[in-house]
Amino acid sequence: MNPDTFSDKQLAGQRLMVGFDGTGLDDKLRHLISDIKVGGIILFAINLETPGQIKDMCAAVQDYAKESGQPPLFIAIDQEGGQVARLKAPFTQFPGNPHMRHEADAEHFGQVTAAELKSVGINMNMAPVMDVAPENINSIMAKRAFGGDPEWVARLGLKVIEHLQRNNIMAVAKHFPGIGRTILDSHLDLPVLKDDLHTIERFDLIPFEASINRGVSGIMLSHIFYPELDDQWPASLSRYIAYDLLRRHLGFDGLVLTDDLDMGAITKHYEISVSIRQILAADIDLALICHKGPNIEIAFKQILNAVTDSEEMRARGLASVDRIMKFKNDYLVF
């Protein structure tokens, strides 16, 4: 499908990845697909029962998207292993990134996880974690990161990316530009990291640069406030971090995603309308809204208004949807 032929509603909806309640295609999910025209859905424990149920659900939503004249959906999940693994037994249960001791461990994780995701119709993994968690602080990512050495994190993360994508699962490196040196949970409130760009480049950015060079499909922005980089906005809402640093300075031309806009780091400080305004200004491709509620409708209407009211915003939105469709063409079966 050619984005140049998309309706204004399609240009708006394709930039949303949303969560939902339920374990199958119901009227609320149909509404998200046919009326909001979302570009993707993200799955959580509430959506998952058995391999057969997951496979049937994913097939049903893709069939319904096709019937509705919509592009195939990104169907994403957080399957890092260890502490964050939405798929439970009988899917393989890995101990987690900190327990990987060799590159072969990361290769095995990537291969097995890709095969299991593919078998049930999931096409995007919000992994690997490319944050670097030093051992000398109480890092919020200590139980999810590969470790405290940027080069080691890069080596293992690249193996995961390689084997996910070689097996047709889009990988999303997270959480740019790095949250391993923070101790506050952004699910609860907005963490702050006061280091300057030089320090971040020498430490946190090393795995992300390696990911970009290896062709990672997506990069997720963190809900962290880096006042030395942008003294107004957290990374997930910052044009400087998302566009100037990630796109222009590092040359990333893949998908840029926010973390969940329902997390406390955002909801305690910004209305959804403010968040969406900043996301559009930063040319971020996909806004994640992972819980049902009015924010999905509000975001859709705001993006739609931007597309219809401004030729500049329409052109910039079309560039994002072009990137989205490139990956759908590359990874999804039409």
Give catalytic residues, as residue numbers: 187, 259
Residues 6+ apart with CB under 8 A from 76: 17, 40, 41, 42, 43, 122, 123, 124, 125, 126, 172
Residues 6+ apart with CB under 8 A from 163: 106, 107, 109, 110, 111, 114
CA distance 245 to 162: 24
> CA 139, 144, 147, 153 torsion: positive or negative?
negative
Strand ranges in the chain using DSSP code E only, listed in sequence order: 16-18, 40-43, 74-77, 79-81, 84-85, 124-125, 170-176, 218-221, 255-257, 287-289
- CA distances 316 to 119, 274, 311, Å, are 35, 18, 9
Closest CA to 224 of 249, 208, 241, 248: 241
CA distance 33 to 57: 13
- Bridge partners of residue 139, in order along the sequence: none
SS3 content of the chain, % helix, strand, coil (to 5): 45, 10, 40
DSSP single-letter state for residue 139:
-
Q: Three-state DSSP class for 130?
A: coil
Residue with tokens 């320090």: 199
CA distance 144 to 236: 20
DSSP single-letter state for residue 241:
I
DSSP single-letter state for residue 235:
G
